[in-house]
Amino acid sequence: MTIEKAGEMLRKGEITSVELTSAYLKNITEKNKELNSFLEVFSDSLEQAKRADGRIKNGEAGGLTGIPIAIKDNILIQGRTASAASKILENYVASYDAYVIKKLKDAGAVIIGRTNMDEFAMGSSTQTSAYGVTRNPYDKNRVPGGSSGGSAVAVASDMALVALGTETCGSVRQPASFCGLVGLKPTYGRVSRNGIIAMGNSLDQVSPFGKTVKDVETVFNVIQGKDEMDATSIVPHLEEEGAGGGNVIGIPWHLFDSGVDKEVMDNFKESVEKLKNAGYKIVDIDLPYSKYSLATYYIIMPAEVSTNLSRFDGVRYGLRKEGENVSDVYKKTRSAGFGAETKRRIILGTFILSHGYYDAYYNKAWRVRNAIKEEFQNIFKKVDFIMTPTTPTPAFKIGEKLDDPVAMYLCDIFSAPANLTGIPAIALPSGFTSGGLPLSVQFMAKHFGENDLFLIGKKFEETR
Ligand code: GLN
């Protein structure tokens, strides 16, 4: 089912949102126990659906009215728990709606539950959640990717029609790739971060999952927009926005040297051929600084993480462990509340920002980040798109890479540039491995080039 199809049936009266929502709730009852995609299913889902049906009857329906959507657990919904899959926020209830939630409610979407994720969005496999791993519906012994793994699985196994995740570095594109879905990382600033539990402020962006490019486009159009409550929220400069119809694709082959799985590579080459046949012009490009993307990301992100997570101290909200004095309360609360990966990043980030190292690491990383940005701006004078595999491997086994953080970090190798530079990127299903695991390619475009990505995405869908 797609939004397009469901929307048509809803408007024609062939189905009600109550019926549609009930079907998804039934799937949740049947599948969620094993897959662990939802941390909570909202008991008022059918009431929301009833209200949506009222709007549809009155002719007040928009594209998302009556559509069941799942929400990652780091996006605030007023009156609901938002735990970011951490123990430290186990009992935290949001006191307001995130901007994107307000938009969804205004549109009449049915918010059916909150989904599992890596703790505070740190991870690529949804295994660092304090609430258990989420399983990949294509092979239950494998991870769904992360950090928005719960949202990806919800859509991939028909427990929601579409879902929201967040990206700091690939957390929607990578699980979209592992679960056979479309995932869009919008231009930094196009979707408000107000009401998102921050990981890396200069990188975070709410990002939708769907089964088709059109569905992702529909959700994006509802949630994007200027928000006074987020100082980094921007109105797109229309003159810079893609004119549409560009057909030059650049491929940075040199970035694939290290460790791309053979089946991923073969599939990527096949996808390139299909695009050639569809009339696209393929050129080789050089992005010499981009090989430092991952190193840069793993300095800037932990620095921002250590700052953002200092607010979880047992004083204002969240878990609290009593101690002998203030510092003892902090220590006991944070030791008990955070998981190992979160602690690792807080420690790394605190070191990076400490006296004597700030210049050597943090400032240097920002200079490299700017060099990467410039490199991309220059390349986009010559090409309309940059194409890479979305991930270097298909979904890996549960437990794999858990003891080797660097191997886990390497999952982000093709994701990092778009988050560091702020450009939009889309992950698209491109086939399956011989063992039946989904494969994916990614396209990046210049700032505000979402429409170009939707265009090429639809073209690519036609070649499948
Ligand atoms: N794999 C990335 C990380 O571990 C995911 C971050 C994200 O996009 N939330 O940092």
pLDDT digits (tens, 9 = 90+) for 41-94: 999 999 999 999 999 999 999 999 999 999 999 999 999 999 999 999 999 999
Residues with CB under 6 A from ligand 1: 121-124, 147, 167-171, 199, 301, 412
For residue 245, count CB atoms less than 10 angstroms from its CB and return exposed for 0-12, middle for 13-18, buried for 19 or more: exposed
Annotated active-site positions, please?
A: 72, 147, 171
The domain ranges of the chain are 3-238
Q: Give kind and range of the element (H or E) at residue 283.
A: strand 281-284
Q: Which two tokens stand for residue 333?
A: 């609360």
Bridging pattern class, strands 281-284 and 248-251: parallel
Ligand 1: centre distance to CA 146 (Å): 7
pLDDT digits (tens, 9 = 90+) for 199-231: 999 999 999 999 999 999 999 999 999 999 999
Ligand 1: centre distance to CA 40 (Å): 23
Ligand 1: centre distance to CA 168 (Å): 6
**Ligand 1, closest atom to CA 412?**
1
Query: How far, in Å, CA of 333 to CA of 105, rounded?
Result: 35
Selection from 170, 202, 203, 206 nearest residue 427 by Cα? 170
**What backbone phi and psi angles, to 5 degrees, belong to 394?**
-75, 180
Query: How far, in Å, CA of 64 to CA of 208, rounded?
Result: 13
Bridging pattern class, strands 68-72 and 110-115: parallel
Residue 75 one-letter amino acid: I
Selection from 384, 390, 394, 385 nearest residue 441 by Cα? 390
Task: Outline where 278-424 has alpha helix (H).
Answer: 293-308, 326-337, 340-352, 364-379, 405-409, 416-421
pLDDT digits (tens, 9 = 90+) for 371-393: 999 999 999 999 999 999 999 99
Ligand 1: centre distance to CA 167 (Å): 7
Q: Which two tokens stand for residue 131?
A: 């609430």
Mean pLDDT of the chain: 96
pLDDT digits (tens, 9 = 90+) for 224-281: 999 999 999 998 776 555 556 789 999 999 998 778 999 999 999 999 999 999 999 9
Query: How far, in Å, CA of 381 to CA of 275, rounded?
Result: 21
pLDDT digits (tens, 9 = 90+) for 3-23: 999 999 999 999 999 999 999
Q: Which two tokens stand for residue 216?
A: 């992702």
Q: Which CATH superfamily is domain 3-238 in?
A: Amidase signature (AS) domain (3.90.1300.10)
Query: How far, in Å, CA of 188 to CA of 418, rounded?
Result: 9
pLDDT value at residue 241: 55
pLDDT value at residue 409: 86
What is the pTM assigned to this prediction?
Answer: 0.97
406 — pLDDT class (breaks 50, 70, 90) = confident
Between the CA of residue 414 and those of 124, 358, 396, 419, what are the distances in Å?
Answer: 13, 27, 17, 10
What whole-number percentage of the chain has pLDDT above 70? 98
Q: Which of 197, 202, 412, 419 to mutate to test the pocket of ligand 1 (most atoms within 8 A of CB)?
A: 412
**What backbone phi and psi angles, to 5 degrees, belong to 385?**
-140, 155
Q: Which of 127, 128, 168, 342 to mutate to test the pocket of ligand 1 (most atoms within 8 A of CB)?
A: 168
pLDDT digits (tens, 9 = 90+) for 122-152: 999 999 999 999 999 999 999 999 999 999 9
Q: Which two tokens stand for residue 8?
A: 């048509």
**Ligand 1, closest atom to CA 203?**
8
